[in-house]
Amino acid sequence: MNTKGTVALATLLLSSLLPQGLAAAEPLLLGLNAPRSGEYQQEGLMQTRGAMMAIDEINLAGGVLQRPLALLERDTASKPAKAVTNVDELAAEGARMLFGGASSAVAIAAGKRARDYGLIYFGTLTYSNDTTGKDAHRYMFRESYNAWMASKVLAQHLNEHMPDKNYFYVTADYTWGHTTEQSMRHFTATDNVQDHGRALIPFPGSMQKDLRAAMQAALDSKPDVLVLVLFGDQMVKGMRMAHQMGLTQSTQVVVPNLTLSMVEQAGPALMEGVLGASPWTWNVPYVYDHPRGQAFVERFVELYQTYPSTSAASAYSIVYQWADAVERTRSLDSERLITALEDHQYQLLKDPQTWRAFDHQNVQTVYAVKINPRAQVMKNPLRQDYFELLAAMPGEDAAITREQWGAERRAHNEPEQLR
């Protein structure tokens, strides 16, 4: 993508719609660093859509500091080295803030590079505990939940409804997969690998033979619960293979982090009954009566003829939160913005959320979910009524404590104050 050309075109197209005087002002550039190719590309598309929707709304409302926003984009392809190069390019082109993710390894690497430029990096989909744990730093803020929070709300449901069961884990072999499996094992008391087996899948670039070997190992172990710690296209392929081998008929399948895009790719018939967790689904604002969230969903559907995923909601919220911090401080200085964000509570698409100061984790309500039967999904006008909300856990109960975070930092010889 020719980013400079994209910005110029976007500015030209918006100029006739912007409030008088705003179109002539120099735009504030935001850099989106997300996958538009590779195994997580659908999540990247949703992030672009959410970001552009927020930018358009803010611009039509008068911009930020009397200047319009414009979006720079780069494709990470879910590769950390590519993401770091993207940060170099986005910083050189004048981005004032960076955001994005889908692979935690990407978000961690890109966030550290952004720190070198004194730029805040907001993680969208980056679920590894490490992002705001051992790899946390002053310039990284995580909007999404993490593996610990997802596993805690999901395990609460599993322990209540399926206690004392045999588990098997099929896990993507990188930081998100490792910390998610570790968290799930912790909260379900399945830490013993000999009793509750595992198979690792290379990421990125896994092959069919890797998935087949892992699913055969799972089949041989005869588990009651099959935990697929896989994401995006890799999860879709894993589910298809599990179905072909009969695993989905004989076990309860758990996908710890579920998104609309993943369910859409796999199909409701294949995903029916799968358990997982999410920080947000499109029906949350309706079940819990959040008018602002409902308006977001309805506008998104109008624009894109699909419900927004977690990725879209995250990118949308990040743009609004950065813009709000700039307006509150009347500054573009990262240090002032960091101070304004720390311990700031806000409400946008769901109940109140807080940017926690000591680790920059967004503390928010999290949900255990189950994929609805296909017949119910098909009754929906968009055929996307995927998520049954099983349980909600307040962020304060779900998130790691200050003491636990400090112990994790000490274990990795990291300071207990972000730098």
- What are the pLDDT tens digits along the chain (419 aa)? 444 444 434 444 444 467 777 878 999 999 999 999 987 888 999 999 999 999 999 999 999 999 999 999 999 998 999 999 999 999 999 999 999 988 899 999 999 999 999 999 999 989 999 999 999 999 999 999 999 999 999 999 999 999 999 999 999 999 999 999 999 999 999 999 999 999 999 988 788 999 999 999 999 999 999 999 998 889 999 999 999 999 999 999 999 999 999 999 999 999 999 999 999 999 999 999 999 999 999 999 999 999 999 999 999 999 999 999 999 999 999 999 999 999 999 999 999 999 999 999 999 999 999 999 999 999 999 999 999 999 999 999 999 999 999 999 999 999 999 99
- What is the reported pLDDT for 17? 64
In sequence order, the β-bridge partners of residue 254 are: 227, 275
User: 148-283+366-398 adopts what CATH topology?
Assistant: Rossmann fold (3.40.50)
CA gap 309, 50 in Å, rounded: 9
CA gap 97, 95 in Å, rounded: 6
- What is the reported pLDDT for 12? 40
Question: Could you tell me which residues come within 8 angstroms of residue 170 by beta carbon, excluding any fewer than 6 positions away?
Answer: 198, 199, 201, 214, 215, 218, 226, 227, 228, 229, 230, 238
The single-letter DSSP state of residue 399 is S
Domains 3-146+287-363 and 148-283+366-398 share a fold: yes
How are beta strands 345-346 and 366-371 bridged, if at all? unpaired
- What is the reported pLDDT for 206? 81
- What is the reported pLDDT for 204? 80
Domain ranges of the chain: 3-146+287-363, 148-283+366-398
Question: pLDDT tens digit string along 118-174?
Answer: 999 999 989 999 999 999 999 999 999 999 999 999 999 999 999 999 999 999 999
Q: Is 0.75 surpassed by the pTM of this model?
A: yes
- What is the reported pLDDT for 157? 97
Phi, psi angle pair for 72, to nearest 5°: -100, 140
- What is the reported pLDDT for 6? 46
- CATH number of 3-146+287-363: 3.40.50.2300, 3.40.50.300, 3.10.20.740, 3.40.50.1980? 3.40.50.2300
- What is the reported pLDDT for 223? 97
- What is the reported pLDDT for 2? 41
